[in-house]
Amino acid sequence: MRRRSLFATAGLLVALATGSRTPSPAPVATGGYAAMAVPADSALDSALVHGSAARRFGGTVSGRLSVAGLPPVDGELELTPEALLFHPERSDEETVIYPVVRQRRLDDGSVVRRSTVRPLGPAAAERPVYLYHLDGSTFETDAPGLLAELAGDPTWIDSLAASVVPGHRALVDARDSAAQVATIDGLVHSAYADSLFQLFGRPTRPVGLVGSTGASARRLGEYIASRDSLSLAPGRMTSAGQLRHGFTHELAHRWQRSAPAALQALWRDVPPIRDSLRYGYDNAHEHQAEAIAFAVHYLQASAAPAHTPAGRASLLDSYERLVPGTRALARWLLTQPLYARHPLVRTPLAPVAVVAASPLHGTE
């Protein structure tokens, strides 16, 4: 597993992007979860840096990376002439590798090179925080260094040569239905799934594989409200984390259906997602499902005893920047029995006044 999705981001996301760029679905209770979109030119070759340009590289940039639309994780971005390598702080997570540049073929047939780093702009008023796209990922840092120069497509980008294309490996072979079903079964019978079923209820039908319609739309997961049926497509995913996230996102749709009043009350004053590449952009229904999945992930990540109170607060800020509403949903989740022993219970994040909570899955 460790190297399985080492090159996951660039390659597989290209495949996923087609589905992500289709017009946003109408806000009905049928989810069609996909990963983040990537720019159209990113399917072309990348290149190696050489010569004087290479000397600009070196060192690392500390920050948080959101891969394929997943919640952000802490780590170091190593800047080398050949690639940008993100090393997660947690040793059980994989290094993610990005090319430094990609080529784009223009309408007249000529080819230009562009940095894979694109600016998303300053993101926080109280202190400088900068967001960048790295292919289909989002990187946040307060000290961008060379990233700021790369994001401006400096002229030395044109001196690059020698193409290399990162490969990728899927979580499970998409041609092997039995292996995909086994992967889903492993998830559904895990303690993680038990926790989510406690929160959101259990779908009537067994969790299965995304059907042919969803597959042709390149969906990673679906929730079909009329049948109370949840399905996933592990053959198009690149990591166990992405599988868990898709599962949480689809179960969140189940909660949207069963407890709309509670969700509507929580959703007051939540601003829209700013990043047009992020799943849920310009679609409140999908945005809510992402915020719920982000909130579940945040409460899991922040439970680690190594976190300081300031670290937990900073981490939540990062989630909220990417998917607004995460904070409100996390606060609500903390009122649920499942989180009774979470270190953030009885902190300012979860004021006692909010605890007037009915069960999350309401009518179930």
**Does 19 contact Zn ion by CB under 5 A?**
no
Nearest approach, Cβ of residue 104 and Zn ion (Å)? 31
Nearest approach, Cβ of residue 189 and Zn ion (Å)? 23
**Does 144 contact Zn ion by CB under 5 A?**
no
Write out the two tokens for 273.
């997602």
Query: Taking a C-beta distance cutoff of 8 angstroms, is the pair 259, 357 a contact?
Result: no
Contact positions with Zn ion (CB under 5 A) in 285-304: 286, 289
**Does 75 contact Zn ion by CB under 5 A?**
no
Number of Cβ atoms within 10 Å of the Cβ of 114: 17
Nearest approach, Cβ of residue 7 and Zn ion (Å)? 26
Query: Taking the CA atoms of the chain, what radius of gyration do you get in angstroms?
Result: 20
**Does 233 contact Zn ion by CB under 5 A?**
no
- Residue 12 or 252 having the CB closest to Zn ion: 252
* Residue whose tokens read 């290149």: 47
**Does 315 contact Zn ion by CB under 5 A?**
no
Nearest approach, Cβ of residue 218 and Zn ion (Å)? 13
CA angle 251, 271, 342 (to 5 degrees): 50
What is the rounded CA–CA span in Å between residue 181 and residue 341?
34
* Residue whose tokens read 């307060």: 142
- Residue 236 or 312 having the CB closest to Zn ion: 236
If phi > 0 it is left, if psi is from -120 to 50 it is alpha, else beta; for residue 362 that is left
Query: Taking a C-beta distance cutoff of 8 angstroms, is the pair 322, 123 a contact?
Result: no
Nearest approach, Cβ of residue 280 and Zn ion (Å)? 8
**Does 246 contact Zn ion by CB under 5 A?**
no
**Does 255 contact Zn ion by CB under 5 A?**
no
Exactly one of 7, 12, 20, 33 binds Zn ion (CB under 5 A); which one?
33
DSSP β-ladder status, 30-33 and 221-224:
antiparallel
User: What phi and psi, each to the nearest 5 degrees, are found at residue 231?
Assistant: -140, 155
Exactly one of 10, 16, 30, 31 binds Zn ion (CB under 5 A); which one?
31
Which span sits near Zn ion by CB under 5 A: 33-41, 99-107, 267-275, 307-315? Answer: 33-41
- Residue 46 or 288 having the CB closest to Zn ion: 288
Name the β-bridge partners of 65.
Answer: 73, 139
**Does 199 contact Zn ion by CB under 5 A?**
no
Q: Determine the residue type at 210.
A: V
Q: Looking at beta carbons, which residue is closest to Zn ion? A: 31
Which span sits near Zn ion by CB under 5 A: 84-92, 116-124, 142-150, 278-286? Answer: 278-286
Q: Determine the residue type at 232.
A: L
SS3 category, 175: coil
SS3 category, 290: helix
Q: Rule CB under 5 A: which residues touch Zn ion?
A: 31, 33, 286, 289
